[in-house]
Amino acid sequence: QKEVEQNSGPLSVPEGAIASLNCTYSDRGSQSFFWYRQYSGKSPELIMFIYSNGDKEDGRFTAQLNKASQYVSLLIRDSQPSDSATYLCAVKGNFNKFYFGSGTKLNVKP
């Protein structure tokens, strides 16, 4: 079982819609949760992080964490074509180890 699981996609949404990206993790002791955006041929860029249950909002992005279900999600409101990228979920587990999922590819269609 992988430490972090994501649907590889692609997830296609029309411009202006809400994109919903999800990830599950296996380590119940995980402490911190991150979303990175990676454009094709580029390196990952941190866009959101969340430590506790509930929602965290930053502009058009909302991260949601449910520790009981070991589930993290990222909502992108008013999706733009420039949001088209691969979104990587990362988790800091026990012993401060970081694990990345394989990413979900998002396509926002004009």
* Cβ proximity to another protein, 3 vs 71, nearer residue: 3
* Cβ proximity to another protein, 39 vs 109, nearer residue: 39
Cα–Cα distance for residue pair 50/39, rounded to 1 Å: 22
Is 100 a binding residue for another protein by CB under 8 A? The answer is yes
The count of residues interacting with another protein (CB under 8 A) is 22
Q: How far is the CB of 42 from another protein (least distance, A)?
A: 8
Q: What mask of x and - would describe binding to another protein in positions 6 to 45, judged by CB under 8 A?
A: --x-----------------------x-x-------xxxx
Strand blocks (E) in the chain: 4-5, 11-14, 19-25, 32-38, 45-50, 54-58, 61-66, 71-76, 85-92, 98-100, 104-109
Short-list 83, 72, 85, CA closest to 34: 72
CA atoms in the 13 A half-sphere facing the CB of 61: 16
Is 93 a binding residue for another protein by CB under 8 A? The answer is no
Q: How far is the CB of 34 from another protein (least distance, A)?
A: 7
**Structure token digits, residue 32:** 């911190």
Q: Which residues bind another protein (CB under 8 A)?
A: 4, 8, 32, 34, 42-46, 49, 88, 90, 92, 95-103
